[in-house]
Amino acid sequence: EVQLLESGGGLVQPGGSLRLSCAASGFTFSSYGMSWVRQAPGKGLEWISGVSTSGGNTYYADSVKGRFSISRDNSENTLYLQMTILRTEDSAVYYCAKGDRGANNYYLDYWGQGIVVTVSS
């Protein structure tokens, strides 16, 4: 059974940093692209970052480029999102999501339960 378990969320002050983790199990982690998607309270889904199977290619939405960094540890089956220079508008539920293939054009077939990040003073 595929499982994605996010951790590392919480309350942080504006300008602060936070690192989210997503522990994956039930599939060969290194064979699939992975993404982070967030959802601000009462708003729609926002894709924010993706990474290739090896971790060598990373992609970002303009809203987080230069502040967030995605990475993966295939030996530990874990996806990360390092978030820095956090803003109040980064407050959201953050979802880790698994791609359905190793190729670049992957769809998100499994999602974690989401973790809340609140940026507030």
Question: Which chain residues interact with another protein by CB under 8 A?
Answer: 35, 37, 44-47, 50, 59-62, 95, 100, 105-109, 111-114
Edge-first strand listing for the sheet containing 3-7 = 3-7, 18-25, 78-83, 68-73
- Gap between the Cα atoms of 49 and 59, Å rounded: 5
DSSP characters for 54-81? Answer: SS--EEE-TTTTTTEEEEEETTTTEEEE
- Least spacing, CB of residue 7 vs another protein, in Å: 15
**Which residue number, 87 or 101, has a Cβ lying nearer to another protein?**
101
- Give the nearer residue to another protein in terms of CB position, either 1 or 62: 62
Nearer to another protein, 13 or 113 (CB): 113
Shortest approach of another protein to residue 13 CB, angstroms?
27
